[in-house]
Amino acid sequence: MIVMKFGGTSIADAAAIKRTISIITKKMRSKPVVVVSACSGITNLLHQLVDFTEQGDKEHSEQIISSIKDRHKDTVDGLASMVDPKRPTPDTTDINQKIDNLCNSLWTLSKAHMGGQIPDADKAYMISMGEYLSSNIVCFMMNAFGLKTAWIDARHFMITSRNYLCATADIPEVTKRANSIIDKAFKNADAVITQGFMGVTIEGDPTIMGRGSSDYSASLLGMVLDADRIEIWTDVDGICTADPNIVPEAKGINKLSYEEAAELARFGAKVLHPLSIEPAAGKNIPLYVLNSMNPDGEGTVVMNSQCIFDGVKSISYNENIRVINIYSPKMINTTGSLTRIFSIFEKHGVSVDMISTSEASVSVTVDAKAPIDPVVAELSKIGNITVDRDKSQVSIIGKNIIGVKGAVAAVFEAVSDSKIYMMSQGSSFLNLSIVVDRPEMMTVIRNLHKTFFENGN
Ligand code: ADP
Ligand code: ASP
Ligand code: MG
């Protein structure tokens, strides 16, 4: 069995879905379990729908739902016209009816909560509608293209925590349910399709697992099903030496260790969800990152670190972050100061990324969107607080980079013209991160890329 996940751009429209179906066709002998996310842009529209609904903006809410409906129906029409003329013309009545029903249920919920606070479970249901729509269309078309495919509702097996909008999986429950449901589905089908991103609490309330989490869904399924491989199909040639959309010279990386890929994802590389590596790593299942627009390309395989060389593999970034500096001479020669500081972040649900400490001061980075005002107010009782805004974090990632001769010196050389606000060497020896002014970020990334990956390096 293999798990194949297709992201938004791989199913963006009729042409992309057709390409995706031809990729799946070649894997039919491996019992593919296909995980899809929403068609690109749809989850953003659903988030807007939630906002308009809460604001009581009926007109915009209705407009969004109707544009979601039109987009999916256009995709169905486009695909129906692409079916081989030798095959029967697909009857699209049922799939169009399904699209109408799903969009009607969105509208029912939107109307019910118009102008009020939407409970998180209903929000999760609304935001995950993109995956229901896309998976139904892809399944319908796989069958129309001659691939015997069963559609499975992820909410029948993806049991999660009760953190409705950013849930994590209950692995023993998922293992129990996914195996029996998927085995049963393969009795009458050669492929199975389900949705990423969404889950359900043990009580049956809808959840989602955070933006970009279809990768996590796929990796979890791979783990619980003991898949031979997990394939993450996206819009770039695998994991690259930097984000190819901002560094055109970035090259694909053939092999990365699980630890390197996880660190890259944690430090900003959007190509994989940060939680997507651990399930694959736990069972030593190779995870491939492949380009659905260039299916014959090599892509990247993420695997056990024994076969991976030491050294810098990639550069990642978080473009908009803040640095909170806490200065208090009272921290010198006292114990428990760090516990006190971090408990304040925990209390207000603000997650900390980089940390740098000295005896009298602590600096941490947080996402620019994090609600830090109550944190800063409470920290002010401990010491002097300053907040640096409009900063970016840039990280170089690779196995044992700190131990590689000259790597750290090369970083300093590459960024010598930029002001560095903070620096942190991950305790894992896998990353070296710096904080710079946001307008400087691109220059710093390009200089680092030139140093490590261009000029014959
Ligand atoms: P999908 O919709 O398929 O899940 P995403 O947009 O979530 O795709 O992830 C793919 C994107 O990740 C690429 O288009 C690219 O801009 C970005 N990215 C960031 N860092 C990297 C990197 N190191 N290698 C490849 N892509 C990267
Ligand atoms: N559709 C969801 C999102 O846009 C999940 C995913 O793409 O992985 O965040
Ligand atoms: Mg993604």
> Which atom of ligand 2 has the smallest separation from the CA of 213?
8
Q: What CATH number is given to the structural domain containing 351?
A: 3.30.2130.10
- Among 307, 294, 214, 306, smallest CA distance to 252 is for 294
- For residue 175, CA distances in Å to 79, 221, 270, 285, 402 come to 34, 8, 27, 16, 38
Using alpha carbons only, give the angle 432, 434, 435 rounded to the nearest 5 degrees: 155
State how far Cα 214 lies from the chain centre: 7
Tens digits of per-residue pLDDT, 231-268? 999 999 999 999 999 999 999 999 999 999 999 999 99
What is the mean predicted confidence (pLDDT) over 57-73? Answer: 98
**Closest C-alpha to ligand 2, atom 8:** 212
pLDDT band, very low/low/confident/very high, at 138 (cuts 50, 70, 90): very high
Expressed in angstroms and rounded, the spacing between residue 374 Cα and the centre of ligand 3 is 31
- Does ligand 2 come within 6 angstroms of the Cβ of 383? no
Task: Note whether residue 291 is domain-resident.
Answer: no
Give the amino acid at 220: L
Residue percentage of the chain with pLDDT more than 70 = 99
User: 441 and 351, same structural domain?
Assistant: yes
Task: Note whether residue 257 is domain-resident.
Answer: no
Last residue of a domain, one of 177, 208, 235: 235
Residue 299 CA: which ligand is closest? Answer: 1
What is the mean predicted confidence (pLDDT) over 64-92? Answer: 91
Q: What single DSSP character describes residue 159?
A: B
pLDDT band, very low/low/confident/very high, at 456 (cuts 50, 70, 90): low
Tens digits of per-residue pLDDT, 90-126? 899 999 999 999 999 999 999 999 999 999 999 999 9
Q: What single DSSP character describes residue 88?
A: P
Using alpha carbons only, give the angle 240, 244, 245 rounded to the nearest 5 degrees: 150
- If one residue of 197, 235, 273 were mutated to test the ligand 2 pocket, choosing by the most ligand atoms within 8 A of its CB, it would be 197
User: 318 and 221, same structural domain?
Assistant: no
Residue 242 CA: which ligand is closest? Answer: 1
> Which atom of ligand 1 has the smallest separation from the CA of 289?
25
- For residue 347, CA distances in Å to 77, 161, 210, 351 come to 51, 19, 20, 10
Say whether pLDDT at 457 is over 70: no
Task: Note whether residue 249 is domain-resident.
Answer: no
Tens digits of per-residue pLDDT, 385-442? 999 999 999 999 999 888 888 888 888 888 889 999 998 887 678 999 999 999 999 9
pLDDT band, very low/low/confident/very high, at 82 (cuts 50, 70, 90): confident
pLDDT of residue 172: 96
Task: Note whether residue 335 is domain-resident.
Answer: yes
**Closest C-alpha to ligand 1, atom 9:** 271
- Protein residues with C-beta less than 5 angstroms from the ion ligand 3: 7, 212
Task: Note whether residue 296 is domain-resident.
Answer: no
Give the integer Cα–Cα distance in Å for 280 and 23: 22
- Does ligand 2 come within 6 angstroms of the Cβ of 37? yes
pLDDT of residue 4: 98
Residue 211 CA: which ligand is closest? Answer: 2
What is the mean predicted confidence (pLDDT) over 275-288? Answer: 97
pLDDT of residue 429: 82
- Among 228, 221, 294, 302, smallest CA distance to 258 is for 302
Partners of 423 in beta bridges: 434
Last residue of a domain, one of 235, 256, 291: 235
Contact between 219 and 287 under an 8 Å Cβ cutoff? The reply is yes
Averaged pLDDT of the chain: 94
pLDDT band, very low/low/confident/very high, at 23 (cuts 50, 70, 90): very high
Provide the residue range defining the domain that includes 362. Answer: 313-454
Tens digits of per-residue pLDDT, 204-227? 999 999 999 999 999 999 999 999
What is the mean predicted confidence (pLDDT) over 336-342? Answer: 86
Task: Note whether residue 442 is domain-resident.
Answer: yes
Last residue of a domain, one of 207, 235, 263: 235
Domains in the chain, number: 2
Question: Which of 9-23, 173-187, 331-345 bottoms out in mean pLDDT, i.e. has the lowest?
Answer: 331-345
pLDDT of residue 104: 97
Expressed in angstroms and rounded, the spacing between residue 431 Cα and the centre of ligand 2 is 27
Expressed in angstroms and rounded, the spacing between residue 213 Cα and the centre of ligand 1 is 13
pLDDT of residue 89: 83
Task: Note whether residue 26 is domain-resident.
Answer: yes
* Model pTM score: 0.94
pLDDT of residue 440: 94
pLDDT of residue 245: 95
